[in-house]
Every structure is written in C-alpha cells, then in structure tokens.
C-alpha cells in the first residue's frame, strides 16, 4: 500500500515535467526561420534587429538595441509549442505583415507605437499562437518575408522633431553601466556605451506561466552620456499599478508614449506603458527606480 501511495505521489509531482519537454525543436526553428536561435531556460528566441529603418526620435538616431528589434520566443506547452513575439515595422509594412501572420497560423494581439516623434513612424505588432514548432516558425518566416517584400518609399526624411538628428550611436554613447547598476541593480545587457535593464513579471497563458523571456517584462535602455542621456522602455503592470507608475514618471517629466495590451488572453491582466525621457543618466535611473518601487513585489 505504501509503495502504491509513493508511486501515485511521484506521478503527481513528475507529471508536469513529463508532459513538458525541455524546449521546442531548436534546429527546426533555425532551419525554417533562417535565424540563429538563442536558448535559455527552455525558451527558444530569434531576433531581427531593424538596422534598415534609420529611425530618429526626438532628434536622436536610434540603435536597434534601444528597442527596434523584431523577436519571437517559442516555449513548449505539453505536446504543443507556444509562440509570442513583437515585429518592428514601418508604416508601409504593417498590413502586409499582419496579413501574412494571420494567413499562416499566427494571431495578432496588439499594434501600437513606442515613440511619439519618430521619423519614419515605427509600429510594433505583437504576435502569438499555439501549434507545432514547424507551423509557428513557418508563420513567422512568411511574415518576415512579407516585410522584406514591401517597397519602401524613397527620399524620406529621418530628421527628428527637434531638428538636426543627434546620434545616440556611432561612438557617442559613453554611459557607465556600474553607475546605473548602483541605482537599478544588475544590467541585462550593454552595447557600445548603452545599457539595458530588464525586470521580469509573470502571468499565465494557455495554462502555463510566461515571464520575462516571453516578453512579460519591464525594461529600460539608456543611451548618450552621463550628463545628457535618453531612456526609453516599457513598464509591465498589473491594472492596479498603472496610476502609481504614471504619477511618478510624469512628475519626473518623463513622456508617456502609449498605454496598451500586448496579449489578449493572459491571467492576471498585464498592462504595458511605453515611455521616453531625457536628462542626466543618474537622474533618469532614479526616476525609473522610483516608478518600479510603486509596483507590487
């Protein structure tokens, strides 16, 4: 009797790990998308930095590191795969990408801006889906192909709203990651004098927990110099946290660019807020820290 009871308990404990494979088929994702996947904690992620867009926001030339990167993350859920992602698009690419995604097994769950003074205008389209790894990777590849096939307008001005573009890349970024980490904690990544921080949140989709690697996160990317920096990013908030975050950011003079959803079927609900700020890097970091401190731990 004891042996039978022990076996039953072990089955209950181990069943979730038996049902859930470690990760989706990495080789299939690479072969079908033509991209080199990153694998971490069972999540397979592919990225496409949009270096071709030449975006200027508020007079600052943006690097893909500052949020101009298309991505998709694949997570195993039982015998199926879940994908979540975000496609960075010019105005001309939006509908072609949306049609390709919808016609090839992907869901479109959000379409929005991250900036309010960008030239050319850039949009961000969130995608999702459940199915086989091959089906979802194929849908992503067709969406990317549709984006590449769109004819881009010639002679468009990329001058920002503030006049002559000020580069936030090409060797002009000189931020000290350690100084910002003293305020915000360990950074997620650094690149050419820019610093990015990511703070994970958690929710549930299709009965499985999803977190930072699937796009459920608050992030902040700093560029420029210690004395004259810019920060852009995204707050992931529970509905009851929205007003507190808004008040702190606005009191600090940080611009609110958009408030919206990324998903449509998550529990608990996650609200996303995009922002843009200019000033001394340490002051910007302290204001982001203050907004983070209003949220539930």
Q: Are residues 139 and 172 in the same domain?
A: no
Residue written as tokens 């998308």? 33
Burial 229-267 (b: 16+ CB within 10 A, else e): bbbbbbbbbeeebbebbbebbeebebbebebeebbeebe
Q: For residues 142 and 199, state if they share a domain.
A: no
- 16, containing H or E segment: helix 2-19
Last residue within a domain, chosen from 149, 180, 210: 149
Q: How far from chain centre, in Å, is Cα 35?
A: 18
- Whole-model pTM? 0.85
Q: How far apart are CA 191 and CA 67, in angstroms?
A: 13
Same domain, 202 and 265: yes
Mean pLDDT for each consecutive 10-residue tract of the chain (297 residues)? Answer: 48 43 89 98 97 94 97 96 98 96 97 93 97 98 97 56 38 90 97 97 95 97 97 98 97 96 96 97 98 91
Same domain, 145 and 249: no
Backbone angles phi, psi at 242, to 5 degrees: -60, -50
Query: Do 61 and 112 have their domain in common?
Result: yes
Asked if residue 219 belongs to a domain, the reply is yes
How many CA atoms lie within 13 Å of 76's alpha carbon, on the beta-carbon side? 18
Residue finishing a domain among 149, 183, 210 = 149
What CATH number does the domain containing 97 carry? 3.30.70
Q: Which residues pair with 86 in a beta bridge?
A: 71, 126
pLDDT of residue 13: 43
Are 56 and 158 within 8 A, CB to CB? yes
Q: Give the span between the Cα atoms of 60 and 160, in whole angstroms.
A: 7
- Residue 74 has what pLDDT? 98
Both 85 and 189 in a single domain? no
At 186 the pLDDT is 96
* Domain count along the chain: 2
Domain assignment of residue 36, given as a range: 20-149
Residue 9 lies in a domain: no
Is residue 221 domain-resident? yes
238 contacts 257 by C-beta, under 8 angstroms: no
Q: What is the pLDDT of residue 22?
A: 76
pLDDT the model gives residue 158: 40
Q: Does residue 2 lie within any of the structural domains?
A: no
Strands 60-61 and 166-167, how do they pair?
parallel
Cβ distance 193 to 176 under 8 Å?
no
Same domain, 185 and 230: yes
């Amino acid at each position: 009797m004891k042996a039978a009871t022990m076996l039953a308990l072990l089955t209950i404990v181990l069943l979730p790990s038996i049902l859930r494979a470690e990760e989706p088929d990495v080789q299939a994702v690479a072969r079908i998308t033509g991209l080199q996947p990153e694998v971490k904690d069972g999540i397979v992620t592919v990225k496409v930095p949009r270096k071709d867009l030449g975006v200027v926001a508020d007079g600052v030339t943006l690097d893909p590191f500052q949020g101009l990167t298309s991505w998709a993350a694949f997570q195993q859920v039982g015998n199926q795969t879940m994908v979540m992602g975000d496609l960075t698009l010019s105005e001309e690419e939006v509908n072609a990408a949306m049609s390709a995604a919808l016609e090839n097994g992907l869901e479109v769950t959000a379409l929005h801006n991250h900036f309010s003074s960008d030239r050319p205008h850039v949009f961000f389209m969130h995608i999702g889906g459940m199915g086989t790894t091959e089906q979802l990777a194929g849908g992503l590849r067709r969406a990317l192909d549709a984006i590449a096939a769109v004819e881009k307008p010639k002679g468009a001005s990329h001058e920002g709203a503030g006049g002559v573009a000020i580069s936030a890349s090409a060797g002009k970024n000189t931020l000290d990651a350690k100084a910002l980490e003293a305020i915000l904690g360990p950074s997620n990544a650094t690149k050419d004098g820019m610093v990015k921080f990511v703070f994970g949140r958690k929710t549930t989709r299709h009965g499985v927990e999803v977190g930072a690697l699937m796009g459920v996160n608050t992030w902040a990317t700093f560029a420029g110099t210690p004395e004259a920096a810019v920060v852009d990013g995204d707050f992931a908030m529970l509905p009851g946290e929205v007003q507190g975050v808004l008040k702190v950011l606005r009191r600090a003079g940080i611009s609110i660019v958009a408030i919206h959803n990324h998903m449509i079927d998550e529990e608990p609900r996650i609200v996303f807020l995009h922002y843009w700020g200019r000033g001394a890097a340490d002051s910007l970091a302290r204001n982001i820290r203050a907004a983070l401190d209003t949220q539930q731990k």
